[in-house]
Amino acid sequence: MLVLGIETTCDETAAAVIERQPDGSGRILSNIVHSQISDHAPYGGVVPEIAARAHVDLLDGLIDRAMAEAGVGYAELSGVAAAAGPGLIGGVIVGLTTAKAIAMVHDTPLIAVNHLEAHALTPRLTEPLAFPYCLFLVSGGHTQIVAVLGVGEYVRLGTTVDDAMGEAFDKVAKMLGLPYPGGPQVERAAARGDPTRFDFPRPMVGRPEPNFSLSGLKTAVRNEASRLLPLEEQDIADLCAGFQAAVLASTADRLKVGLRIFTERFGPPQALVAAGGVASNQAIRGALEAIAKKAGTVLLLPPPALCTDNGAMIAWAGAERLALGISDGLDAAPRARWLLDADAKAPAGHKNSRAGY
Ligand code: KG4
Ligand code: ZN
């Protein structure tokens, strides 16, 4: 089956066409991502109104390009999928409305995809991965350990009690005067820094619940930074290296607990999988390898370009749902908030129900 996917929940405008074979394997035929970073950079973060307007300006052209590059005509599509949330509501409306128009004009099913579910299912696009597996979802808005038991069957084992990990990277970058978006900047600076110069706290280490907390660590970085003012280049590198090392230590401990609880409840996972923008961080990718090995499982990481927001992941999640006979009505609602575990089992307006949904 051929599915067009549309992503507009944040500051990437993206469209892609993927093919799913009956054996469950997938292939990306086109995957076009336009990052709006330069539009938002002067403001130091994503401005929702600017993002929504940019999606309106860009999306039609991107979809045309994605279809042309894939060599696919609209009549050949098995469905059109759009991220219907969670995200910035203006952008979500643009993508979902566009998908509805295509679905209506070309009489093809609509799939209103949960953006988080798309991150969760992405590893199955590039690798033959069976359920259940343990997902570490780390983006600008989320830090979660999730048991992925099947399409639409998610159990959240742990989450952040304050900042999301990507958000913490972005805030640390901002306080050190590094440009937006901060995650890749902190990673780059950390590579030149000494991770042992500062003794930052290792948040939540030793706690029995696999939750995360990053705001205390962020404050510790801010306090050190204010003490050192004015900051030299090396200070910034060392602060970034110390922050990232603390994040890695906390992540290792939290995932160890999460994987243990996963195994107790659902048996051994087929893999540890990471997704979301922060999973494109090379230091984190390296640390996850050791974490998976210690837990007796394998690590499966989508390529960095599929970890950050893109249209292929939306198209793929749409194809996975469509293959199970699930699609949505044209009244599917855009959603600013949409929990993966609570609502993924009964998305608004879906036509067909299936045991286990
Ligand atoms: O998944 P994503 O593209 O968008 C959503 O939030 O849904 O993730 C973006 C987040 C941002 O906070 C960004 O700073 C962070 O991922 N990020 C990184 C890296 N690349 C992106 N954080 C740390 N290291 C990176 N290399
Ligand atoms: Zn995302």
| C-beta 302 within 6 A of ligand 1 | no
The predicted model scores a pTM of 0.91
**What is the C-alpha to C-alpha distance for residues 140 and 46, in angstroms, rounded to an integer?**
11
- Residue linked to tokens 């991150």: 119
Query: If you average pLDDT over residues 173-189, what whole number do you get?
Result: 94
> Is the per-residue pLDDT at 273 higher than 80?
yes
Ligand nearest to the CA of 307: 1
The closest-lying atom of ligand 1 relative to the alpha carbon of residue 115 is 7
The closest-lying atom of ligand 1 relative to the alpha carbon of residue 280 is 26
Q: How far is the CA of 357 from the centre of ligand 2 (A)?
A: 23
Which residue from 12, 178, 308, 309 has its CB within 8 A of the most atoms of ligand 1, so it is best to mutate? 308
Burial of 77 (0-12, 13-18, 19+ CB in 10 A): buried
| C-beta 318 within 6 A of ligand 1 | no
| C-beta 309 within 6 A of ligand 1 | yes
> Is the per-residue pLDDT at 343 higher than 50?
no
| Whether 170 contacts 180, CB under 8 Å | yes
**What is the C-alpha to C-alpha distance for residues 250 and 259, in angstroms, rounded to an integer?**
14
Of all residues in the chain, what percent carry a pLDDT higher than 90? 87
Q: How far is the CA of 57 from the centre of ligand 1 (A)?
A: 24
pLDDT at 342: 65
Average pLDDT, the chain: 93
Cα 15-20-24 angle, rounded to 5 deg: 135
pLDDT at 116: 94
Query: If you average pLDDT over residues 17-32, what whole number do you get?
Result: 97
Ligand nearest to the CA of 88: 1
Q: How far is the CA of 252 from the centre of ligand 1 (A)?
A: 19
pLDDT tens for 184-200 read 999 999 999 999 999 99
Label residue 206 left, alpha or beta by phi (over 0 means left) and psi (-120 to 50 means alpha): left
Query: If you average pLDDT over residues 245-254, what whole number do you get?
Result: 97
Determine the straight-line distance between the first and last CA of the chain, rounded to whole angstroms: 22
| Whether 145 contacts 116, CB under 8 Å | no
Q: Which residues of 196-233 are buried (b: 16+ CB within 10 A; e: fewer)?
A: eebebebbbeeeeebbbbbeebbebbeebbeeeeebee
